[in-house]
Amino acid sequence: MKVLKALPGKHWLAEYDETNTYDWKDAEQYFSWATTGKVNMAHEAIDRHAEGERANKDALIYFDGTTEQRFTYADMKRLTNKAANVLVDAGVKTGDRIFIFMPRSPELYFALLGALKVGAIVGPLFEAFMEQAVRDRLLDSEAKLLVTTKALLPRVPVGELESLEKVVLVDEDVEESDTLLDFRKAFEQASDVFEPVWLDREDGLILHYTSGSTGKPKGVLHVQNAMIQHLMTGRWVLDLQEDDIYWCTADPGWVTGTSYGIFAPFLNGATNIVVGGRFNPDFWYSVIEKYKVTVWYSAPTAFRMLMGAGADVANHHDLSSLRHVLSVGEPLNPEVIRWGKEAFDQRIHDTWWMTETGAMMICNYKSMDIKPGSMGKPIPGTQAAIIDDQGNELPPFRMGNLALKTPWPSMMRQIWNNPQKYESYFFKGWYVSGDSAYMDDEGYFWFQGRVDDVIMTAGERVGPFEVESRLVEHPAVAEAGVIGKPDPVRGEIIKAFIALRDGYEPTDELKQEIQAFVKEGLAAHAAPREIDFRDKLPKTRSGKIMRRVLKAWELNLETGDLSTMED
């Protein structure tokens, strides 16, 4: 099948025949490997446009409420070249893991794309992470260099990280040392000419740490080849056209912020808005108004918070530039879709995917009839199904495991340092997502919940084990079990059940102290919003806390089979 070109006034995929399977080979014509056999994400995303018709088009517009900075594709090419030269001078080599731990700013994007030009594997870290979360990730990946700020540096246990050779600080007036490097100074002096390191399609691109229900966060490795799917979903699903002003609200610390905050928009040569600062309904609407945002990709929690701020706030702004609005990360309530129609006359399009899938998998396209509450249909060239625990496909309306036929272009290629874990995701030719869902008789998929204990709070994925491990490090905590409790705004909040050590009293002060302890160790979003003290927690005979029983306690449900529970 030939790739359809967006026709003036028409959407990508408008003429897509749903019975057709897309041959991903067809997309190869858009990348340099079609001519040279080699590729580099930063070249395809930036340089290619800078060397062509889009040279003077705005690529990145950064705005934090007070300052605005604009960079064309030509600017981005020069500035990412400079960053690449800085990193090479600092000793970075192809395949090294380079972490970026800082709030959103243009420098974050220069450093990230510069690292990709060198052929490094980038590990982005959300700025809210605290010491233990930072340590776990840098240790596991054996990171060689970290780009960060003075303010965040105290959370980096540099002395304990053997592989970490250099820390690059992006602030003004950095006092340099053997390990500390002044980014701005080096950047000033660096050449703006750089030949990207040419890579194979299966070479590393990005390493996102994400949570499961057991163990520490896992490093999900994506490779250069993922760009095929970033490019095509940018067309098919985001429906990016030449004049679009695109805004993805996710932070690059999470997969949405890289795949759709960097790769998909730049691969498509779009104008990409990056907003710094904190969420605030009035500010967010003002961004749409100021920049005449046309395509907007955000998350249910944000939409619910905007909805909660009331129609008045929305009505103060001209939001008529919006032509396509999309959502990811949590179930999108039909109520929110109705509100979107009222507040800015757009139907919010849900998309489903995961860190592990690397790119969108099940989506509502612009040209398709939305069924509010459904995640949509698999994108062309992929196949999704509901399977039972034996790997058999289930018929429509039967609930089961949401699974994807392997492979697809942006599928994860490794769990860092853990091949056994990687294998465990795959079963009889399927990738098993950990979500439960059903498919209706028209091929639309409907999300039902997580199969495991992973918590989705305000769109952020938190593993209960990581929180429990931190909790039991507190001197007062003997045992802890953590669950997601349904919440009307955040989807779920984190709730901890705690049994105290002898000699500790279950007071409110202690609750607050424990909450602060988790915040300081992991991140604010990982701290339990609610804590219940209990004398004893339900455990299996082998000593595992039964979160299922905690959940049943919380929701007043039947506790189910308790045969494995200790007396």
Q: Name the site residues for ligand PRX (rule: CB under 6 A).
A: 210, 255-256, 328-331, 350-355, 375, 433-435, 447, 450, 456, 461
- Asked whether the beta carbons of 234 and 240 are under 8 A apart, the reply is yes
Distance (Å, whole) CA 128 – CA 152: 9
| Minimum distance from residue 454 beta carbon to ligand PRX (Å) | 7
Minimum separation from the CB atom of position 384 to ligand PRX (A):
13
The residue assigned the tokens 């993805």 is 248
Cβ closest to ligand PRX, residue 210 vs residue 241? 210
Q: Which of 300, 306, 352 is nearest to 459 (CA)?
A: 300
CB within 8 Å of 508: residues ≥ 6 apart: none
- Minimum CB distance to ligand PRX, residue 230 (Å): 13
**Phi and psi torsions of 429, nearest 5°:** 85, 5
Min CB(176)–ligand PRX separation in Å: 37
Give the residue with the Cβ less far from ligand PRX, 63 or 445. 445
Q: Quick one: DSSP state of residue 155?
A: G
Please identify, using beta-carbon distances, which residue of 331 and 380 lies nearer to ligand PRX.
331
Question: 142 in the Ramachandran plot: left (φ > 0), alpha (ψ -120 to 50) or beta?
Answer: left
Q: Are the C-beta atoms of residues 561 and 490 closer than 8 Å to each other?
A: no
Q: CB nearer to ligand PRX: give 119 or 253.
A: 253
C-beta closer to ligand PRX: residue 210 or 469: 210
- Alpha-carbon distance 483 to 551, whole Å? 6
Letter string b/e over residues 109-121, b meaning 16 or more CB atoms within 10 A of that residue's CB = bbbbbbbbbbbbb
**Minimum distance, C-beta of residue 435 to ligand PRX, in the bound complex (Å):** 5
Pick 484 or 528: Cβ nearer ligand PRX:
484
Alpha-carbon distance of 109 to 250, in angstroms, equals 14
Got the DSSP string for 43-93?
Answer: IIIIIHHHTTTTTTSEEEEEE-SS-EEEEEHHHHHHHHHHHHHHHHHTT--
Minimal distance, residue 171 CB to ligand PRX, in Å: 30
- Cβ proximity to ligand PRX: between 211 and 241 the closer is 211
In angstroms, how far is CA 227 from the centroid of its own chain?
A: 16
Secondary structure of 512-550 as H, E, C letters: HHHHHHHHHHCCHHHCCCEEEECCCCCEECCCCECHHHH
Whole-number minimum distance, CB 537 to ligand PRX, in Å?
A: 25
Minimum CB distance to ligand PRX smaller for 261 or for 538: 261
Backbone torsions φ then ψ of 522, nearest 5 degrees: -110, -75
Pick between residue 47 and residue 356 the one whose CB is nearest to ligand PRX: 356
Cβ at position 458, least distance to ligand PRX in Å: 11
Comparing every residue's Cβ against ligand PRX, the nearest one is 355
In the bound complex, what is the minimum distance in angstroms from residue 131's beta carbon to ligand PRX? 22
